[in-house]
Amino acid sequence: MIIEMKNIRKSFGSNDVLKDVSFMIKGGEICALLGENGAGKSTLMNILGGVQPTDSGSINIDGKQVVFHAPSQSQEAGIAFIHQELNLINDLPIYENMFLGRELKTKRGSLDLERMHQETIKMFKQMDVDLNPKTMVRDLDSSYKQIVEICRAMMTNASIIIMDEPTTSLTDQETERVFKMMKTLKDHNVGIIFISHKLNEVMQFCTRYVVLRDGNLVAQGNVSEVTSKDLARFMVGYDVRTDPLLREKKLGKEILRVEGFTYYHVFRDISFSIKSGEIVGVTGLLGDGRSELFQSIFGAEKVSSGKIFLNGKVVSIKSTTQAINEGIAYLPRNRKENAIIKDMNIMENASIVTWPKFSKKGIINKQKHEETFREQSKVLKLKMGKLTDSITSLSGGNQQKVVLAKWLATSPKLLILDNPTQGVDVGAKEDIYDIILKLADENIAVVVLSSEAQEIIRVCDRALVMYHGVIQGEVALEAMNEHTIMSLATGGQLS
Ligand SMILES: Nc1ncnc2c1ncn2[C@@H]1O[C@H](COP(=O)(O)OP(=O)(O)OP(=O)(O)O)[C@@H](O)[C@H]1O
Ligand SMILES: [Mg+2]
């Protein structure tokens, strides 16, 4: 199958998102669709997926013009779309989710649950996915939800699959699994449009690339003929730095100390401390327990034993509200599921944790609050329309910036950032790193949780590497390199 999108234009009000974009994909290739946050990648795919109409231009499939008025028409034409935001129903088991909108029926017209169950088992076997189809979706880790979405798309026997940032919240191991699936599909002559901000993935797995900037297609070609530095430059229009960000440290008093923190098999005997002005990384592989550990410190999860000291005093944090009042902020690992309320507008989303700070006797000083948020969004180069626009009108990376701005506005003493650059483009990543350094300069203690060793090396003063719920080792200076981190993360010892 060959799909050609020709001279596509799309505006939202005065925002000309796609000015004149022509894009092509054919079976058997994996084409990376790249561009900064808000460049129009999802919008272009929404048009191909029948989610949104185009203002002008045309779509041809194998030389014949088609017009999609609804997602179902695009699906019937052989296009499957895995959206940037998850689209599963929590209260149904996996196998029913696999057939949403195209349920199998018995001859008498009722749902054929048995056949849907069997088909799902077959699919999982083919894709080497180790999941029980009867599990309720609500009980799945978000990464597994993503994998279910991918399998569902594959089940439609699509000729072209659109994957809008499928790996943003996946660990390396899970990402591997997705790539294995993609390779199988490519070998079966399926064409894949792959949107990602992780350029190393693009370099490794894509055959072709296309870059959008300022509403135009600015570069395209074969991945084998470029470097990831080239791709980054095409996206943002200038050279992106990759060297470690050296800084002058002035560490203050100890802010947080954790002693013997334990939660059954999730994490054990965790002890460490962090000073004001310090940036500490925490990394590891799937099942290392780092997110759970910091959720516990933030009062969102219980612990079975251990002590926390804040500013030298022992505290018992029983709720997240208490944690916020103690000056702790926590940016969660998965924006799609834990940080955004889809039915609220931008300002409401930004206010959720900050309104107590801007209110006196229960009355919120709205103007002051909005001013503060505007200032922060300027620093973060947040691309948005009005504060009252729906949060879902923002591109994925810009939603992430709203969440970051929201936590910064709590003026924390200890800032915990779990997967802080999920879904943000290479340029904005640098902006976020600069902000982290600036915050440390302002004497905030920052913890960066990340599975990307490179990210840890770039911004952190030192890093704790976890393995199966324990701190396997601590690295700093020259020892903070990819090789040592990986060796600790897989259970090795510091030599
Ligand atoms: N439904 C909508 N209403 C209004 N504006 C929208 C809507 N959908 C997208 N936009 C705007 O269109 C622009 C492009 O958004 P899009 O989601 O296509 O970006 P993207 O390239 O996918 O970015 P990201 O990498 O952050 O996901 C943004 O400025 C966004 O705010
Ligand atoms: Mg997008």
Measured from the CA of 399, which atom of ligand 1 is nearest?
A: 26
179 found inside a domain: yes
The set of protein residues with a Cβ atom below 6 angstroms from ligand 1 is: 12, 15, 17, 35, 37-43, 84, 383, 393-398
Of 188, 210, 236, the residue at which a domain comes to its end is 236
Kindly state whether residues 231 and 273 are assigned to the same domain.
Answer: no
Residue 61: the pLDDT is 97
Any domain includes 245 = no
* Res. 77: pLDDT tops 90: yes
Say what the pLDDT of residue 377 is: 84
The answer to whether residues 55 and 9 touch, using CB atoms and an 8 Å cutoff, is yes
The last residue of a domain, from among 236, 262, 285: 236
| Substitution site in 214, 217, 392, 393 for ligand 1 pocket (most atoms within 8 Å of beta carbon) | 393
**Region class of 137: left (phi > 0), else alpha (psi between -120 and 50), else beta:** alpha
CA-nearest of 120, 81, 78 to 97 is 120
Q: What are phi and psi of 36, to 5 degrees?
A: -65, 170
Same domain, 442 and 309: yes
The rounded Å distance from CA 201 to ligand 1 centre is: 23
Whether residue 438 is found in the same domain as residue 410: yes
The yes-or-no verdict on residue 360 having pLDDT over 90 is no
Count of domains in the chain? Answer: 2
Give the residue from 339, 393, 303 showing the smallest Cα distance to 168.
339
pLDDT at 339: 67
Domain hosting 325: range is 254-489
Report if residue 141 sits inside a domain. yes
Contact 467, 443 (CB under 8 A): no
The CA-based dihedral angle spanning residues 4, 195, 388, 376, taken in that order and rounded to the nearest 10 degrees: -140
Average pLDDT over residues 102-108: 91
Based on the domain organization, do 258 and 222 belong to the same domain? no
Cα(321)–Cα(310) distance, integer angstroms: 16
- What's the mean pLDDT in 455-483? 93
CATH number for the domain spanning 375: value is 3.40.50.300
Q: Are the C-beta atoms of 28 and 2 separated by less than 8 Å? A: no
What pLDDT was estimated at residue 353?
67
Q: How confident is the model at residue 383 (pLDDT cuts 50, 70, 90)?
A: confident
Q: What is the CA radius of gyration of the chain?
A: 23
Is 279 found in the same domain as 232? no
CA of 372 to the centre of ligand 2 (A): 26
Ligand 1 midpoint to CA 17 (Å): 8
What does the pLDDT read at residue 308? 95
Verify that 164 and 266 share a domain, yes or no.
no
Calculate the dihedral angle through the C-alpha atoms of 42, 47, 48, 54, rounding to the nearest 10 degrees: -140
Higher pLDDT, 278 or 147: 278
Give, in order, the Cα–Cα distances in Å from 21 to each of 5, 18, 32, 189, 209.
Answer: 8, 6, 15, 25, 14
Q: Are 181 and 269 found together in one domain?
A: no
pLDDT digits (tens, 9 = 90+) for 128-139: 788 999 999 999
Closest among 20, 51, 135, 43 to 88, alpha carbons compared: 135
Give dist(CA 23, CA 57) in Å, integer: 11
